[in-house]
Amino acid sequence: MIRLVGVGKTYEDGTVAVQELDLDVQRGELVVLVGPSGCGKSTTLKMINRLIEPTSGQIFIDGQDVTQADPVQLRRGIGYVIQQIGLFPHQKVIRNVMTVPLLYGESTATARERARELLDLVGLDAATYGDRYPHQLSGGQRQRVGVARALAANPPVLLMDEPFGAVDPVVRIRLQDEFLKIQRELGKSVVLVTHDIDEAVRMGDRVAVFETGGRLAQFGTPAQLLAHPADEYVEDFVGATRGLRRLTVTPIDPEHLEPLDGVSTGDLGSAIDVDATLEEALAAMLRDDKPLVGVRSGAQFVGVLTPAGIHRQLRASLK
Ligand SMILES: Nc1ncnc2c1ncn2[C@@H]1O[C@H](COP(=O)(O)OP(=O)(O)OP(=O)(O)O)[C@@H](O)[C@H]1O
């Protein structure tokens, strides 16, 4: 869907922001660019919608070279969400979201209907919030309006620059979860920039770890990065607690569960779903203060997990 081939950007003052970057984003995939401040993440994002022109290389969207595309036409097919969302302060929320459909020549009634649907989609009741002005919303609510507006054109591609940056950690996780749900429903191809490795690992189908100077240090699934950091830099960046993070990204493998036979009912706390992650399994054991946790598929018990079993599953997932 999106392909960067040998893309580089050197600013006029000689700053090398991005070097020789090769990157691809499949249709419906969410790719996260992560790295320390100034490593070239935003520059990369803005080259995709041509807010910044690359100094070398090529960028293709759906096989079309973006440098050959009309920038205005190009940006209409690409939603763009930034941290300072840039809502129009003197327009009501509903009007802010309607801007895009109106731009596309929809009637006011259709645009209003579409804006209502989108606000609902991002979890804002249009009747309650539609008639407010942006300053009458919380940071998290404003962020949602930004996402609704970016989705309004129904673009196949969405670029997001620190979209959840301005909100507190609890709201941030909720927004991340909600966005992942929307993303799965709508199947957009998304490139998301963050400096937060936890956000990267939670959200990315694949994660690109950047190093200062615009070098791509590693590109892979969260599980690959955490289990096999390519070099010391990535190892350091994913952190000493990467073992814990691996629990978050490793799903339960039903093949490696232990049988339920012989387990005393006293040892069994609540059961978790077979679609859960190892982190959720361990969390259930700790919460219930039990040495194991039951795993079910629908109403059916399929086995149990113990801490040793979690360790075995983590090891098996490396293979
Ligand atoms: N217009 C410009 N002229 C010169 N240098 C620039 C310009 N814009 C950005 N840079 C430099 O390019 C490098 C990459 O910047 P970029 O904004 O892409 O980084 P980033 O990884 O998104 O950082 P942050 O997480 O802090 O936003 C930085 O060293 C920055 O100072």
For domain 2-247, which CATH number applies: 3.10.450.50, 3.40.50.10420, 3.40.50.1000, 3.40.50.300? 3.40.50.300
ipTM over 0.85: yes
Helix (H) or strand (E) holding 199: helix 197-203
Pick the more confident residue, 213 or 104: 213
Q: Which of 8, 154, 155, 4 lies closest to 65 in space, CA to CA?
A: 4
DSSP for 94-141? HHHHHHHHHHTT--HHHHHHHHHHHHHHTT--HHHHTTS-GGGS-HHH
pLDDT in the model for residue 82: 80
- The confidence band for 85, taking pLDDT boundaries of 50, 70 and 90, is low
What mean pLDDT is predicted for residues 30-45? 94
Question: Between the ranges 80-89, 205-214, 254-263, 308-317, where is the mean pLDDT highest?
Answer: 205-214
Ligand 1 centre and the CA of 44: distance in Å? Answer: 10
**Longest CA–CA separation in the chain, Å:** 71
pTM: 0.83
Order of strands across the sheet with 56-61? 16-25, 2-10, 56-61, 64-65
The span from the CA of 319 to the CA of 304, in Å, is 22
The span from the CA of 272 to the CA of 290, in Å, is 13
Domain ranges of the chain: 2-247, 251-318
pLDDT in the model for residue 84: 66
Helix (H) or strand (E) holding 7: strand 2-10
Query: How big is the CA angle at 214 (ends 208 and 218), to the nearest 5 degrees?
Result: 30
Q: Look up the CATH architecture of domain 251-318.
A: Roll (3.10)
Tell me the pairing of strands 157-161 and 206-211: unpaired
Nearest CA to ligand 1 atom 28: 38
Give tens-digit pLDDT for 105-126.
Answer: 888 999 899 899 889 888 889 8
Please say whether the beta carbons of 155 and 73 come within 8 A: no
Distances (CA, A) of 38 to 33, 73, 165, 254, 317: 12, 29, 16, 43, 34
Mutate which of 33, 42, 215, 216 for ligand 1? The one with the most ligand atoms within 8 Å of its CB, which is 42
- The confidence band for 240, taking pLDDT boundaries of 50, 70 and 90, is confident
Whether 2-247 and 251-318 share one fold: the answer is no
Encoded tokens for 102:
């109106």
Nearest CA to ligand 1 atom 25: 37
Q: Which residues contact 136 (CB under 8 A, 6 or more apart)?
A: none
Average pLDDT of the chain is: 88
Residues with CB under 6 A from ligand 1: 11, 13, 15, 17, 35, 37-43, 195
What mean pLDDT is predicted for residues 173-182? 85
Q: Which residues contact 113 (CB under 8 A, 6 or more apart)?
A: none
Nearest CA to ligand 1 atom 24: 37
Does residue 287 have a pLDDT over 90?
yes
What mean pLDDT is predicted for residues 284-313? 91
Strand partners, 78: 157
pLDDT in the model for residue 61: 92
